[in-house]
Amino acid sequence: MRQHIRFVLLGSLLLAASLLVAFTPTASSAFAATPSMVRTSPTALHQLLQTSSLLLVSKKGQSEIDCLVSIIPPLVVSKEIDAGGGVACSAPVSSLSVSAFLFKNGTLVKKSMGSNSGQSTITQKVTDSSCTSRASWQAKATGVVTFPSGFIPPSAPFDVASPNASLIC
């Protein structure tokens, strides 16, 4: 059980870091700092995972597929607001779909959708070029994981959101 929890935590960090790196080339130094964050602050990591990720599990006999849904909260990158969401599964699944949404002061300003079949991961990015300082920004991701035939549950919808963030452009 303890190794499983470590796998889930590491998977969440890797997905979050890969989404962050996809948004900005300067984020690679943040990724390098991730392992020390796990060792020195498990409580802070647990709080981050509670607000930004969701674990989906489907079983078939002794087989199990774990899928971690993560959201990257709004970030300022080159005077644009970037956010996103993604899913990382422990094995390929029948299909993955994700829609990423970006809200400014509670109003939807951008959305983007993506899907794939027979893969174990998907990420979706959303960007708004009208960065407004001190506005309240929030990211949301929704979608469905469809597991291979015979797995229970056969599919799992998800809906995760970041906390609101006031950003300076």
- pLDDT above 90 covers a percentage of the chain that reads 55
Q: How confident is the model at residue 79 (pLDDT cuts 50, 70, 90)?
A: confident
Residue 31 or 87, more confident: 87
Q: Taking a C-beta distance cutoff of 8 angstroms, is the pair 145, 158 a contact?
A: yes
Q: Exposure of 128 by Cβ count < 10 A (0-12 exposed, 13-18 middle, 19+ buried)?
A: middle
Please say if the pLDDT value at position 24 is more than 50: no
Task: Kindly compute the dihedral angle of the four CA atoms of residues 56, 12, 126, 111, in this order, to the nearest 10 degrees.
Answer: 10
CA distance 20 to 79: 16
Reported as a single tens digit per residue, the pLDDT across 119-165 is 999 999 999 998 888 889 999 999 999 999 999 999 999 999 999 98
Domains of the chain with bracketed CATH: 2-166 (2.60.40.2420)
Give 74's pLDDT tier (boundaries 50, 70, 90). Answer: very high
**Residue 39 pLDDT > 90:** no
Q: How high is the pLDDT of residue 54?
A: 81
pLDDT band at 52 (very low <50, low <70, confident <90, very high): low
Q: Is there a cis peptide before residue 153, judged by omega within 30 degrees of 0?
A: yes
Kindly give, in sequence order, each residue whose CB lies less than 8 Å from that of residue 39, ignoring residues fewer than 6 positions away. none
pLDDT reading at 64 higher than 60: yes
